[in-house]
Every structure is written in structure tokens, then in C-alpha cells.
């Protein structure tokens, strides 16, 4: 009887050791990074995504949230390609300009100011159509030079 208990106990101990070894072997945990920087903690790279403000100025005149999202997306793409990394982008002085009712699908046009970090930077004109489509035009602050044309985003009129 005593031999059975010793064999059973030994088998249990061997199984526990095998389970621990198997767990350690099959674990996919990456090794912890080592800090070779002796001057301070390791910092993660940051991605600069601006905070947008003034969207309510757009939605209050009938622009859909999908159109606002498209506007923010094309602005981020333009600013990134132009090497600009503002922390804040604001939409101000929104005005309805016109509506083209002769098109198969009506196209509304608005103008507004785009400010980067609270500094007036661009005059903007945006056509919007359907429930999702936009086309953004950015002009120099004095309005004399077209700087960017997003082409149609989120669909096409008509």
C-alpha cells in the first residue's frame, strides 16, 4: 500500500513538473524590452492626429456626420502630405453659397475658414451631395490660389 502511495505521489509530481515546463515552452509571451537608455524611460513614438473643432457649424446647416468624417479624413491626408502637423483644426465662418438644382442630384456648396492651431490658414469651399459625398477645395487665405482639390470623396453627384 505504501508503495502505491509513493508511486502515485511521484506520478503527480512528474505531471506537475511537465505541465509547468510545457506551459513555459509553449507560452507566446514576448521577452520584456530592456531599457538601454540610461538617461530616462523609453518613450513611444506618437502619431499626430489633430483634434477637430467646429463640426457643429457644419452639421447645423445639414451636412451629415459621414460628410464631416470625410472632410476630416481628406484634411488629415492633405496636411500630412504637406508636412503640417497641427494639434487642432477648426471650421469657422461657415456660409451656404449655392445649390445646383439642375444637376441630377443637387449639389450644395458652402464656404468656411480652416484654422490650424487657432490661426486662420485656408479659405475652404466644399461641395456636398447625396448623404455621404463631398469635394473639398482649399485656397490661400486671400482666396487667390487653389492649393488643394480632394476630388469627389464618398460618392459622386448624380
- Averaged over successive runs of 10 residues, the pLDDT of the chain (158 residues) comes to 59 54 46 44 57 94 94 95 94 88 82 93 94 95 95 86
Question: Any residues with CB less than 8 A from the CB of 59 and at least 6 apart, and which?
Answer: 65, 68
**Reported pTM:** 0.67
pLDDT at res. 101:
72
CA dihedral 35, 36, 38, 44 (to 10 degrees): -50
pLDDT at res. 36:
44
pLDDT at res. 26:
45
150/136 Cα distance (integer angstroms):
5
Domain boundaries, the chain: 51-149
pLDDT at res. 90:
95
pLDDT at res. 11:
56
pLDDT at res. 102:
74
Q: Is 40 left (phi over 0), alpha (psi -120 to 50) or beta?
A: left
* Residue 110 near residue 61 (C-beta atoms within 8 A): yes
**No. of H helices and E strands in the chain?**
3, 6
Q: Among candidates 123, 112, 14, 19, which has minimal Cα distance to 61? A: 112
Amino acid at each position: 500500500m505504501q508503495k502505491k502511495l509513493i508511486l502515485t505521489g511521484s506520478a503527480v509530481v512528474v505531471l506537475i513538473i511537465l505541465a509547468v515546463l510545457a506551459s513555459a515552452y509553449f507560452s507566446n509571451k514576448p521577452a520584456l524590452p530592456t531599457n538601454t537608455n540610461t538617461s530616462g524611460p523609453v518613450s513611444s513614438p506618437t502619431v499626430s492626429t489633430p483634434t477637430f473643432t467646429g463640426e457643429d457649424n457644419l452639421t447645423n446647416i445639414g451636412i451629415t456626420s459621414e460628410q464631416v468624417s470625410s472632410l476630416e479624413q481628406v484634411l488629415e491626408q492633405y496636411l500630412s502630405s504637406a508636412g503640417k502637423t497641427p494639434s487642432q483644426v477648426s471650421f469657422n465662418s461657415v456660409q451656404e453659397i449655392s445649390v445646383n438644382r439642375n444637376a441630377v442630384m443637387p449639389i450644395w456648396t458652402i464656404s468656411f475658414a480652416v484654422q490650424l492651431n487657432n490661426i486662420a490658414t485656408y479659405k475652404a469651399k466644399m461641395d456636398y451631395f447625396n448623404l455621404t459625398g463631398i469635394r473639398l477645395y482649399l485656397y490661400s487665405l486671400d482666396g487667390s490660389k487653389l492649393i488643394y482639390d480632394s476630388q469627389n470623396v464618398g460618392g459622386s453627384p448624380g
